[in-house]
Amino acid sequence: MSQKIVLMGAGLIGREHAALLRANPRVELVGVADVSEAAKAVSDEFGARYFTDMGEMLDRMRPDGAIIALPNALHVEAALACVERNIPCLVEKPIADSLDAAMRLVAAAEKTDVPVLIGHQRRHSPDIAKARQIVADGILGRLVAVNAMWMTDKPAAYFDAAWRREPGGGPLLINLIHDIDCLRFICGDIDEVMAFTSNAVRSFEVEDTASVSVRFAGGALGTLLMSDTAVSPFNWDTAAGQALYFPHQPENSYHLAGTKAALSIPCMDVWRHETEAGHWQHPLVRQHITLDGSRAYENQLNHFVDVIESKAEPLTSARDGAMTLATVLAIARAGRENRTIAVSEMLA
């Protein structure tokens, strides 16, 4: 029997969720809640009932699960409405627009034991999942250094939406948060961060470029370079071929190095010496890791159904999503205050 799902938010990503729901035989989209004029057309297109009030939709439709694709500031309100009604929900990233709001949702989810899955969809991608396994299995040895890049050139029309030019709408919270979540998932929690941020190209209130240094809890050090005003193939969205509406341009966006081997992602090549006695004067052997070809968003939806059916725990819980948010907010503070920020400061 298929699970009845409702959708809160019928914007760009909401429509993508609707299409994914329609294509999956395990689920049925039964309701759409959104106050925009275009939302009624979306509900009609996908054969769902239309509501302007999300609480009314939850009460009348009594769904098995809900997907929340609203603006960031509305995530927690919508998720709490689900938790109060014992309805599992998938909340698009970030979990919230502030850490205080995120922790309110964490407290409610943990008190009631209602599943809340945060939509960091890259965790469901086969390259990211395999990289986590490779690190956990010790194939790289002791992890020493991590390098990540997210650089691309957004068009001027992208910023017609005013919130993308204002605090909370810059690429740290919109884009780099995905990379931070991937690195936390693969390499472990981040304890400390340093950062330089710049808005020199667009002169908006928010950053357009940032360079970041991090210290992982396990001792490894990392660097991240991010810009949404630089022409580049070095970003996971296009490099992995997993994004919903970007061209696939094979490249690497993450590089991990340990005492035994190195790994590039998403091309998934492991580099190591032929023998354990090898060192920098000896050639390296490249081993390509073959993946299963599955799709991140489809995997995420199937995982959400497993969560609804009590077959799995959320891969990214509310608390996990809050930790990723805290790490990104620490980076933003480090850029403003020109000092090292411990992530624990954000949680104090």
The model's pTM? 0.95
Where would I find the H helices in 116-274? 126-136, 171, 177-187, 236-239
Does residue 55 register a pLDDT over 80?
Answer: yes
Does residue 28 register a pLDDT over 80?
Answer: yes
- Rounded CA-CA distance 122/299 in Å is 10
State the pLDDT at residue 191: 98
State the pLDDT at residue 169: 82
Does residue 200 register a pLDDT over 80?
Answer: yes
Lowest mean pLDDT among 15-29, 76-90, 233-247, 259-273: 233-247
Mean pLDDT, residues 207-212: 97
State the pLDDT at residue 161: 83
Q: What is the pLDDT of residues 78-111, one digit of tens each?
A: 999 999 999 999 999 999 989 999 999 999 999 9
State the pLDDT at residue 36: 86
Does residue 168 register a pLDDT over 80?
Answer: no
Residue-averaged pLDDT of the chain: 96
Residue/partner pairs of 332-341 with CB below 8 Å, 24 or more apart: 332/172, 332/173, 332/195, 332/197, 334/193, 334/194, 334/195, 334/212, 335/195, 335/196, 335/197, 335/207, 335/210, 336/197, 339/194, 340/192, 340/193, 340/194, 341/192, 341/193, 341/194
State the pLDDT at residue 37: 81
Mean pLDDT, residues 150-168: 91
Tokens of 76: 């927690």
Lowest mean pLDDT among 82-86, 113-117, 213-217, 239-243: 239-243
